[in-house]
Structure formats: structure tokens, C-alpha cells
């Protein structure tokens, strides 16, 4: 992974179309490595989450090109690679498994990020009736040791349709249900990073199973 991290580091210093075109082969080699990792992870995750079996890694891997049409930041390229492995691929908005490669900022994550109104409502309705099951998963000692807290993205008050004094109102206020863990560059450059990702994703799989049940 050294070449991938080095490419991203240089891209962050030279985020121009000219530099990118001059180094397109380096980019393509780096992208192919990330697609390969995605393919391996799909196969490994499929052993404990059958919903991802048969996915194309290209349907999971995000493009490096930024959409700058509505942004003040006109840099044309992201300075990371990412892949979201879930039923239907990255565009499906299903719960899944994400890995992010960026010098000094790599991480893995699992769950569902900023779902649209209808699926979010379904998750909250299910959560309201099954919160203890969710808390059993997320308060388990082995889970808690790796993922001590959920991504803190909440409404300031109770969501529409739920009383402010609901027993589990704190869980219902979340807008995303995501857990993540940082991976330092030493891990990414090591020989065991894929196995470490798989172990983390397996720990996250009960959260995704819970969220899938909410969306059925």
C-alpha cells in the first residue's frame, strides 16, 4: 500500500489536472489496488454477511473525481480512496462496510450514513421498539473496546412523531447510525491490514443486520 499512500500524498500537494494527467498511470495502479482490496473484502465479508455476495468491487469503490459545481473548493480530485461494500453497491443507501484510505486519516466504518427521510423514519420506528437489542450489540465488551461510541450526528430535539420523554430518545435523535475506527499508516502499510479490516467488519456486522431488519 506504500505506492497508494504515496500517490495520495503527492496528489494532495499537486491537486491539478496537469499533475494528475502526468501521473495517470500511478493513479490507475493505485485505483486498481483499491478495487482489488474491495474484491477481497467482498469475498471475506460474504462469509458472515451473505447480502454482499456477488457484488462487483467497481460498484462499491468511489470515484476520485470531485463534483465541484456547487462547491467553493475547486480542487478537482479527492485526496483519498474509499469503498462502501453493501447490498446494491455504494449508491444503494443500504447499511454496509466502508474503508477509507488517506495518509494519516485512514479508517473503517459500518452502519448507515445520512439515510433519506423514509428509511431513517423506518430505522427510528424499529429502534423505538428494539432499542434494547441494539444496545446489547453496541454495549458488548468486545464491540465497545473497538467502537466506543457512535458517530455523533443528532437532532437537537425529538424527531417528529416521538415524545421528548421517550425512554430511548437519545438513540432516536441520531441522523446516522455509524461506528468507525481509525487505522494508522503503519497498519495500512503492514502485511495484515486486510485481515484487520475483516475482523473489524465482522464485529460491525450485527449492527448492519439490525439496521437491515429495520428496513425490511
pTM recorded for the entire structure: 0.94
Closest C-alpha to 31, from 70, 9, 61: 61
Low-confidence ranges of the chain (pLDDT < 70): none
Give the tens place of pLDDT for each residue, 109-139: 999 999 999 999 999 999 999 999 999 999 9
**pLDDT of res. 74:** 84
C-alpha to C-alpha distance for 140 and 147, rounded to whole angstroms: 10
Could you tell me the residue ranges of all domains in the chain?
2-215
The architecture of the domain spanning 2-215 is 2-Layer Sandwich (3.30)
Amino acid at each position: 500500500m506504500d505506492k497508494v499512500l504515496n500517490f495520495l500524498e503527492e496528489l494532495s500537494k499537486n491537486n491539478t489536472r496537469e499533475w494528475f494527467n502526468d501521473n495517470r498511470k500511478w493513479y490507475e495502479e493505485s485505483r486498481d489496488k483499491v478495487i482489488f482490496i474491495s474484491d477481497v473484502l467482498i469475498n471475506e465479508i460474504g462469509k458472515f454477511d451473505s447480502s454482499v455476495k456477488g457484488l462487483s468491487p467497481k460498484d462499491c469503490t468511489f470515484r476520485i473525481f470531485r463534483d465541484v459545481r456547487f462547491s467553493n473548493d475547486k480542487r478537482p480530485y479527492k485526496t483519498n480512496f474509499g469503498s462502501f461494500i453493501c447490498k446494491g453497491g455504494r449508491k444503494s443507501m443500504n447499511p454496509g462496510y466502508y474503508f477509507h484510505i488517506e495518509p494519516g486519516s485512514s479508517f473503517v466504518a459500518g452502519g448507515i450514513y445520512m439515510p433519506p427521510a423514509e428509511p431513517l423514519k423506518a430505522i427510528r420506528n424499529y429502534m423505538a421498539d428494539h432499542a434494547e437489542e441494539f444496545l446489547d450489540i453496541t454495549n458488548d465488551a468486545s464491540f465497545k473496546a473497538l467502537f466506543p461510541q457512535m458517530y455523533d450526528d443528532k437532532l437537537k430535539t425529538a424527531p417528529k412523531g416521538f415524545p421528548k420523554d421517550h425512554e430511548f430518545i437519545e438513540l432516536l435523535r441520531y441522523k446516522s447510525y455509524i461506528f468507525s475506527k481509525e487505522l494508522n499508516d503503519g497498519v495500512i502499510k503492514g502485511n495484515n491490514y486486510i485481515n484487520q479490516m475483516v475482523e473489524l467488519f465482522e464485529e460491525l456486522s450485527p449492527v448492519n443486520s439490525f439496521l437491515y431488519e429495520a428496513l425490511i
